[in-house]
Chain A
C-alpha cells in the first residue's frame, strides 16, 4: 500500500518521510521546516542544472536531423550520454581573463546568467503537490527575476574590455527590454482570466486552456519568449558573422559553459511558463488524484512547445536589427495591447454565458484580430520602400555560361 502511495506522489511521500525522520531525531518543528526548505531548493536547483545535460542532447539531435545529419550517436544509446564527456572536458579548460577586463563584473556575469534562470523554477507548479512555493505574486516574480538575465549580459559585455562583446551586449539589452514588453502584456491575459498572479492559481483556473480563449496572446508570448532567450531567428546577440560570438567572446572554460547552460535552461523555462500559462500546466485526466500523471502531462506539453522552438531555431534565418525592432514595436506591442483590450471588455460582457459559448465567442474575436493583423501586414508590406543595392548587370565573373543563364531568365 505504501509503495502505491509512493508511486502516486513521490514528492509528498518523500517530504513526509524526511520530515518524520528529522522530527524523530528530536529537532524543533521550525528547524525541520527550515532544513526541508533548504534541502528541497538544493534538489530542485540541482535537478534543473542536470536536466540541461539532457536538453543539450535533445537539441543537438533535433538540429542534426533538421540538417540531415545524425547528431551525437557514439556515447551511450543514441548518443544520449554525449553531454557528459563534454561537461568533463569543459570543466578542465583554462579560465582566461583578458588583461583589460574588469574583474568583478567579468566573474559575476556567468553566475548571474544561470542564477537568474534557476530562480524562476522556484514558483513553477510541476504537479498538484509538487511546486517550490505558491507565491501570490508569482508571475511578477518571474518577470522581475527574468530581467536579471539582461544584467548578466551587460556585465559580461562591459567587463570583457572587448568591442565585440560590448556591441553584443548593447544589442542583447536592446532586444531583451523591447521584447519583454509584449511578453509581459501577453502574460497579463491569463492573469485577467484567472484573477490571480500565482502560477498555481492560474493553472488551477484553467478548466478551459487559455490558448483556446486567447490564441493570439499565446502566439505573441511564444514569439517574444524566443526573442527573450535570444535564439535564432533572434540571435543578433551572437551573430557570429558580425560579432564573433557577441557578449561571451572573451570567456573560456566553465565560465563560457555557464552562459551556454543558462541559454538552454532559459529556453526550456520559457517553454515551461508557456505550458503553465496557456496549455493548462499539469492539468489532464486523473492528474488531481495521481500527481505523477500531472507531472508527466506538464512535461509532455512543455516538450511540445520546446520542440516547436527548436524547430524554428533550426529552420529560420536571422533577422536584421531594424526588422527585429519593427516586429516588436510596430506589430507585437500594438497587437498585444489590442488583445488585452478586447479580452478585458469581451470577457466582462460574456462571463455569465455557458462555457462553450463564451469560448467560441473569444475564439471568433481572436480570429477577427488575426485577420486584422493580416490586413495590416499587407498594408505595411505595400508601403515599404525597397532600396536596390548595386546594379543587377554588374560585371562580375561574366563567363559565357552565366550570360546564357541570365538570358534564359534565371533571374541573375
Chain B
C-alpha cells in the first residue's frame, strides 16, 4: 500500500519535472530580445484601456455554486458505488432517495432560473 503511494508520489514529481525541464531547456535555447512594444499586452493592436482584471459575469458564480453541490454529491456516491455489491435493495433505495433529493434541488434551481444564461 505504501509502495503504491510512493509510486504515485514519484510519478507526480516526474510528470511535473518533465514539462518544467523542457521549458527550462527551451528558455536557454531561445533568443531573448525583449522590447516594450513586444512585451505590451496583446489586444489586436489596440492600446489597452484600464485594468486587465475585469469584472466577470455573475452567472459563472451561480454555476460554480450549483457545481459545488453536485461535486459533493459525487463524493458521497463513490463509496455507495463501491459498496453496492454488499448493500441490500433497501440500501440501494436509500441511495436513490438521496439522488432524488438532489434532482429536486436541480429542479428548484432550474425553476428559479439559475440555469438560464442571460
The 5 sampled A-B contact pairs (Cβ below 8 Å) are: A90-B26, A92-B30, A110-B19, A122-B12, A345-B92
List chain A residues, Cβ under 8 A from B3: 33, 37
A95-B11 contact, Cβ under 8 Å, with A115-B19, A344-B96: no
Q: Is B67 in the interface zone, CB < 8 Å from A?
A: yes
Across the interface, B66 reaches (CB within 8 A) one of A121, A185, A329, namely A329
Interface residues of B in 85-118 (CB under 8 A from A): 85, 89, 92-93, 95-96, 99-100, 102-103, 106, 110, 115-117
Interface residues of B in 57-77 (CB under 8 A from A): 57, 59-60, 63-64, 66-67, 70-71, 74, 77
Smallest beta-carbon distance B41→chain A, Å: 5
Residues on A with beta carbons closer than 8 Å to the beta carbon of B38: 96
Asked if A184 is at the interface (CB within 8 A of a chain B CB), the reply is yes
Given that A119-B12, A191-B78, A345-B92 are contacting pairs, would A98 and B106 also be in contact in the complex, using a CB cutoff of 8 Å?
no
> A94 on the interface (CB 8 Å rule)?
yes
B interface residues with partner A (beta carbon < 8 Å): 3-4, 6-8, 10-12, 14-16, 18-20, 22-23, 25-27, 29-34, 36, 38-44, 48, 52-54, 56-57, 59-60, 63-64, 66-67, 70-71, 74, 77-78, 81-85, 89, 92-93, 95-96, 99-100, 102-103, 106, 110, 115-117
The 4 closest A-B pairs by CB, nearest first: A322-B117, A118-B15, A254-B26, A191-B81
- Which chain B residues lie closer than 8 Å to A337 at the CB level? 99, 102-103, 106
**With A92-B29, A164-B43, A177-B63: A122-B11 Cβ-Cβ less than 8 Å:** yes
Residue A63, interface by CB 8 Å: no
CB pair A174–B60 under 8 Å, yes or no, is yes
Pick the contact of B82 from A92, A181, A185, A197 — CB < 8 Å? A197
Chain B CB within 10 Å — which of A38, A261, A329 has the most? A329
Q: Which of B12, B42, B78 contacts A250 (CB 8 A)?
A: B42
Q: Are A326 and B115 in contact (CB under 8 A)?
A: yes
Instruction: Report yes or no: A345 in contact with B96, Cβ–Cβ below 8 A.
Output: yes
B19 to chain A: which residues have CB within 8 Å?
Answer: 49, 110-111, 113-115, 118, 258, 261
- B67 touching A162 by the CB < 8 A rule? no
With an 8 A cutoff between CB atoms, is A401 at the interface? Answer: no
Contact A349 B89, beta carbon cutoff 8 Å: yes
| A249 close to B (CB within 8 Å) | yes
Chain A residues with Cβ below 8 Å from B92 are 344-345, 348
**Measured between alpha carbons, how far is A253 from B29 in the docked complex, in Å?**
11
B37 shortest CB reach to chain A, Å: 10
Name the CB-closest residue of A to B84: A192
Q: Are A162 and B41 interface neighbours, CB within 8 A? A: yes
Rounded to whole angstroms, the CA-CA distance of A140 and B38 in the bound complex is 44
Tell me if B4 and A135 are in contact (CB < 8 A). Answer: yes
Task: Report yes or no: B18 in contact with A340, Cβ–Cβ below 8 A.
Answer: no
Interface contact A133-B8, CB-CB below 8 Å: yes
Shortest Cβ gap from A211 to chain B (Å)? 18
Q: Which one, B41, B44, B57, B110, contacts A98 given CB within 8 A?
A: B41
| Contact status B67-A37, CB under 8 Å | no
Check A37 against B77 for contact (C-beta < 8 Å): no
Segment touching B, from A6-14, A40-48, A402-410: A40-48
In the assembled complex, A19 has its CB within 8 A of some CB on chain B: no
* Distance A162 CA – B3 CA, assembled complex (angstroms): 44
Main secondary structure of the interface of B (DSSP, over half): helix
Q: Which residues of A contact B48 (CB under 8 A)?
A: 163
Residues of A within 8 A of B10 (CB): 37-38, 41
Residue A277, interface by CB 8 Å: no
B16 touches A99 (CB 8 A): no
Which of A95, A113, A119 contacts B26, CB < 8 Å? A95
Q: Which residues of A contact B32 (CB under 8 A)?
A: 94-95
Q: B4, A134: Cβ atoms under 8 Å? A: yes
A185 engages B74 (CB within 8 Å): yes
* Docked pose: A111 CA to B12 CA in angstroms: 12
Inter-chain contacts of B85 with A (CB < 8 A): 195
CA distance A192 to B34 in the complex (A): 56
A111-B16 contact in complex given A98-B40, A181-B74, C-beta closer than 8 Å = yes
Cβ-based interface call for A227 (8 A): no
Name the residue of chain B whose CB is nearest to the CB of A182.
Answer: B70
Contact yes or no, A100 B66, CB < 8 A: no
Report the minimum CB–CB distance from B6 to chain A (whole Å): 6
A166 within 8 A of B: yes
Distance of A166 Cα from B67 Cα, bound (Å): 21
* Residues B14 and A41 in contact, CB atoms below 8 Å apart: yes
Q: Which of A33, A140, A163, A173 contacts B52 (CB 8 A)?
A: A163
B contact residues around A312 at 8 Å (CB): none
Partner of A95, one of B15, B30, B66, B110: B30
Q: Nearest B residue to A245 by beta-carbon distance?
A: B42
Which chain B positions have C-beta within 8 A of A180? 67, 71
Chain A's closest residue to B118 (CB) is A322
Q: Kindly state whether residue A355 has any CB partner on chain B within 8 Å.
A: no
Q: Does A275 have its Cβ within 8 Å of any Cβ on chain B?
A: no
